[in-house]
Amino acid sequence: MTPSKPQRAAKKQHRRVPVWMILGWRAWIRSIMTRTPNYESGDRDFAWVTLLLTLVLTLALLAVGSRTGFLDRLTDTLLGVMPPHGAPVWITAHWQNHDGIRQPLLQQLTALELHKESSTMAAPTVLETLANHPTFKSLLERPAAWPEQLPWPLASLAQRPVETVPDTFRLQVHPYRVVGNNSPTIRLPHSGAWSRTLPFGGWAVYEDHPLWRMALNRTTTPAPWLGLPLQLVANETLFERYFDYDRYRDGLNPLLSQRNLPQLPAKSAGDTLPKLLTTLWLMVDVAHEEQLLPFSVRWVRHIPAIDKPALLFPLTTYHALLAAHHLPELHYQPERSATAGPLPNAQLQTALLAFNDCVQRELSAAGLSAPVKIRDGVCPRPADLASPPSAALAASGKEKGQNVVDLIHHDSRNNLWLPCHRLPRNETIRTMLCPEWPESSNAPPMLIPWDATGYGSPFTTLQIFIPETGQLNRVIDQIGAMRTAENLPAFSVLPTYHDALSRFNLLHDLLDRSVPAYAMVFLLLLGTLLFAQIGSLLDHRRTHYGMLLSRGLSWRSIHAKLLLQMLLSMTISSAVAVGVLLPLLRWFIGRNMIDVLASYQSLLPPGQSLNFMPLEPREIVATVMIVLLALLSVTFVLAWRLPLRGSTVPSALLHGGAIEPPA
């Protein structure tokens, strides 16, 4: 009977899909979906392979995620890494650097451009985790012709192009000063309000410091001109441990009564320090005279730093206190000078800064710190100084019958802008710019830059944030190699931080060197399980493959059918492992670690929590590809040894016997 035209058309369309693909899909679906399996004939073999791959993938992802979380995330947390700023490093002036950290060194460090090299690949390689281990380096250092000698897909994997992309990054340099018992002193109103086991003090930082911005929830970069605020950031954990509110109240209330200000209430059982103290009163040394000043306070649970600061102080305000400490003629009153007045115009600012830098260079080149007269023409006097004062100067705030208060400005380049006539009379810049400025003059004073790192008050400590945490050791080595103008070592890492970093590096290196051993054991276990499971699967289908050969299906088509079934099992197992089991494990681990995190919350940067299984898409893909490569390799080897290759005759699979056809 001749088939009709619709039947022939349907048959022709049906043959567009290869026979091996149809047979492979049906056999795989039957193994997964059958309700009455015959275990002796291996009806459930592909289901067991899928289950095995799911569990193996979950175990591998758990190991990779735990390794990443412990070595990377946990180390970052213990080092105080603050995203997106990076890892902090505490730098001090080297003991041979007697001049400290002044403006030229800060500019040199800020301008330092560091290079990094990152390898960008088409996809993660199988040997990516093992590539840097000495055991495997010989495999990667063979001649370029060796990949052709490897079986596929190892050859194509080894021939992937690697593109090295050069990139640069800059350091975030944040100077700070330790405040407390240093001059000018800052203390609590009652000497017994703070425990003697830990000295009361903190850090004076700029507004762009990550700790200050994090505490005040500021994401924008501060303006070029900074104010002189009376603000604080207080460490609630340290205050709860070392602060005595009752003694603080007993010492402060009499002082508040003298000012006719409301007194502090007694502390009840349910009161907390953030609720009681929205303003913290401190005794501050202003021009060698202690004044009681109110600071608005922002409370944070923890300030991540290496030496436990109790508070963060505005560095601009502290520099104004330093100026008042060093310049007796400067009239600085913190509560009245915090209001900014008119600023010098931009052109005059640039001219004055250039003039100041020129004078400092001449003094440094001559090896002099005493006032001298610079030769005419070496440092030209700014031309705009001859213009009317109102166009370039700030008001002094002078009124009849009132104390004179100088309005002070602070820029983002470590300069205070002070009235010129408040500098010492023998100061070189004053003798060149405003030698005879009359005190009784009603004209606005001339503002000039005053380097806050001069006058015997250079920075001694810096906090540097390295955005590339993987470059931490290399950057520290480069900073340690920097020299001063006298060719002396400029910086050294804070010893406490260096010891902590060395311990972390030891732990990291020990665990990192153990990764190849764990990887080899895992691959051995995976290979053993796959050989056992897939070997059983092929034995159950040995007769079936012989029948397919006898019906004209090629051995390549049977290989393709088998590989398709393995890819289907791998796809389902990957989806279940990544989409179901991995989130369940993260939830289970996170639920059990909540109490642990609560006990050590003070060690974590504010707002940061530990991620115990951080897996990047690249790591997931790499793990899946490793398991897939092992699966396909074992399948190919066992099928080849079945035997299932070009020289195999059907009888060798149906009844055993000779592999080669008779001559």
The mean of the pLDDT values for the chain is 78
pLDDT at 345 over 90: no
**pLDDT over 60 at 142, yes or no:** no
Q: Read off the pLDDT of each residue in 37-42 and give the average, rounded to a whole number.
A: 59
Strand-pair category, 461-466 with 172-179: antiparallel
Q: Which of 586-590, 597-601, 656-660 has the lowest mean pLDDT?
A: 656-660
Supply the Cα-derived Rg of the chain in whole angstroms.
37
Does the structure show a pLDDT above 90 at 204? yes
What is the per-residue pLDDT for 389? 41
* pLDDT recorded at residue 53: 93
Which amino acid appears at position 16 of this protein? R
Contact 50/572 with Cβ under 8 angstroms? yes
H helices, E strands: number in the chain: 23, 16
Per residue in 610-649, pLDDT (tens digit) is: 667 788 888 899 999 999 999 999 998 998 888 887 777 7
For 522-551, how does the pLDDT look when each residue is reduced to its tens digit (9 = 90+)? 889 988 999 998 888 888 888 888 888 888
**Cβ(129)–Cβ(519) below 8 Å:** yes
Average pLDDT value for residue range 26-32: 85
Do 203 and 309 touch, CB atoms closer than 8 A?
yes
Nearest CA to 534 out of 6, 49, 50, 18 is that of 49
The yes-or-no verdict on residue 155 having pLDDT over 60 is no
Cβ-contact 225, 411 below 8 angstroms:
yes
pLDDT band at 393 (very low <50, low <70, confident <90, very high): very low
Quote the crossing angle between the two packed helices 45-68 and 555-576, to the nearest 10°.
50
What 3 state SS string does 112-153 have? CEEEEEEEEECCCCCCCCCCCCHHHHHHHCCCCCHHHHCCCC
Cα(497)–Cα(491) distance, integer angstroms:
14
* pLDDT at residue 572 greater than cutoff 90: yes
Of 356, 463, 473, nearest to 417 by C-alpha is 356
Q: What pLDDT does residue 413 have?
A: 81
List, in order, residues 6 or more apart from 546 with CB less than 8 Å away: 650, 651, 652, 653, 654
Give the separation between CA 475 and CA 469, rounded to whole angstroms. 10
**Residue 250, pLDDT above cutoff 60:** yes
State the DSSP code for 581. Answer: I
Q: Which of 342-356, 371-385, 516-530 is the most confident on average?
A: 516-530
Residue 316 CA to residue 320 CA, distance in Å, equals: 6
Q: How many CB atoms within 10 Å of residue 281?
A: 19
CA gap 57, 59 in Å, rounded? 5
Q: What is the DSSP string of 184-253?
A: SPEE-SSTTSB-TTS---EEEE-TTSHHHHHHTT--SPPPSEE----EEEEEHHHHHHHB-HHHHHHHHH
**pLDDT for the residue 485:** 82
- Specify the residue for token string 């993260």: 586
Per-residue model confidence (pLDDT) at position 239: 93
The pLDDT assigned to 402 comes to 44
Tokens representing 230 are: 């009376």
- Rounded to an integer, what distance in angstroms lies between the CA atom of residue 338 and that of residue 336? 6
Task: Determine the Cα–Cα distance for residues 466 and 220; give it in Å rounded to an integer.
Answer: 20
The string over 224-236, giving b where at least 16 C-beta atoms fall within 10 Å of a residue's C-beta and e elsewhere, is: eebbbebbbbbbb
Prediction pTM value: 0.71
User: What's the Cα-to-Cα distance from 540 to each of 119, 640, 649, 654, rounded to whole Å?
Assistant: 46, 16, 18, 12
CB-based contact 424:430 (threshold 8 Å): yes
Both structure tokens of 191: 């000497």
Is the model's pLDDT at 663 over the cut of 80?
no
Tokens of 263: 């007194």
- pLDDT, residue 127, reads 39
- Cβ atoms within 10 Å of 568's Cβ, excluding its own: 18
Mean pLDDT within 427-449: 72
Q: How far, in Å, CA of 178 to CA of 315, rounded?
A: 10
Assess contact for 410 and 225: CB atoms under 8 A.
yes
- Given a cut of 50, is residue 452 above it in pLDDT? yes
Q: Please give the residue that has the higher pLDDT: either 28 or 605.
A: 28
Instruction: Quickly list DSSP for 48-73.
Output: HHHHHHHHHHHHHHHHHHHHHIIIII
Angle CA 218–220–225, to nearest 5: 105
Query: Do 204 and 315 form a contact (C-beta atoms < 8 A)?
Result: yes
Contacts of 218 (CB under 8 A, 6+ apart): 207, 212
Residue 24 and residue 168: Cα distance in Å, rounded?
Answer: 52
